[in-house]
Amino acid sequence: DEFLPSYQAMQAEYDERVKWHYQPQRPNGHGQSYSMNTGAYHARGEYITFLDDDDVWTDRDHLLRAHATIRATHAAPDVLYSNQTAFDSAGREIPIKVWIADLAEKVSPGMLVADDAYQVSTDFLLESAGFAHLNCTIIRRSLYLAMKGMDENIRYECDRDFYLRVIDTADTLYYLPRHVARHNVPDPKKKDNMSTLVSDLEKRLYQVNVLEKAVLLSQRQSVRTHAVAALANTYKHMTSSLLAAGRFDVAAKHAK
């Protein structure tokens, strides 16, 4: 596409340790899940991590710190989560706790396993009002592959689906409260990002799919309970959107 020359220019700046894998161009794209799975299958490291192409890791020692944490503990973690800061399309920091930053005030000294790394449970993570962003996720590659990676059928909140499946499956979870990345929230007026490419109702449909999947397939009761509550909230938002559009008969159906 039109961005190919810029990626080729970036490729020329890196040494041979950085591998580039180009995918065929398609009118509907491939979706981020497909791209992430492709990268994970090509990877050879014990752990893999992700970074959106329009975001940055602000902690230059993020991976070094994570490596030290993994090596310092007797129980190598299946996944490590951290935090990031959000900025709007005008470059202003969004002054609220997003994703799982609200958990930082809930950790206790007894959970500390190394430096500022805390071993947490699935139930603890579900106390958050959000879910971990992929920029702040480091996962054991063998677990990622065993889970068959990201769900390529989901084009919106595939990261939420992935998060729920990981915390439902993983045995050892670490939470590092520090902020390691900057996330640039897409401009809602543009259509060049998955968050802005689909309509509000399409987003709700994807959310319903993610949460119904969690209700039906999750092993842990706490994950299923969380998904049921979130599903009710999603239908509430869907009903509001339908009412705003004047689709009262359909809204009544989804309000039940």
**Rounded Cα gap, residues 99 and 244, in angstroms:** 28
With a CB cutoff of 8 Å and minimum separation 6, the contacts of 189 are 196
Whether 154 shows a pLDDT value over 80: the answer reads yes
H or E element that contains 84? strand 79-87
Does residue 192 carry a pLDDT above 70? Answer: no
Q: Report which listed range, 28-32, 41-45, 224-228, is most confident.
A: 224-228
- What is the per-residue pLDDT for 198? 61
pLDDT(197) > 80 = no
Structure tokens at 218: 């999750």
In the structure, what pLDDT confidence band is assigned to residue 2 with cuts at 50, 70 and 90?
Answer: confident
pLDDT at 100: 98
What backbone phi and psi angles, to 5 degrees, belong to 245?
A: -90, 0
The residue to which tokens 């902690």 are assigned:
59
Average pLDDT over residues 22-42: 84
Which residues, including other chains, have CB under 8 Å from residue 178's CB and lie 6 or more apart? 59, 82, 83, 116
Return d(Cα 226, Cα 135) in angstroms, integer. Answer: 23
When the pLDDT of each residue in the chain is averaged and rounded to a whole number, the result is 91
Which of 105-109, 115-119, 194-198 has the highest average model confidence (pLDDT)?
105-109
pLDDT of residue 42: 94
pLDDT number for residue 190: 64
Distance CA(53)–CA(118), nearest Å, equals: 28
* CB-based contact 80:138 (threshold 8 Å): yes
CATH of 4-190, one of 3.40.50.1820, 3.90.550.10, 3.40.190.10, 3.30.565.10: 3.90.550.10
Alpha-carbon distance of 61 to 95, in angstroms, equals: 24
Write down the domain spans for the chain.
Answer: 4-190, 198-256
Q: Which residue has the higher pLDDT, 129 or 6?
A: 129
In this predicted structure, the answer to whether residue 140 has a pLDDT above a threshold of 80 is yes
Please identify which residue in the block is written with the tokens 């007797």.
74
pLDDT at 196 over 50: no
The secondary structure element, H or E, covering residue 32 is helix 32-42
Q: Which of 132 and 237 is assigned the larger pLDDT?
A: 132
Tokens 């129980």 -> residue: 75
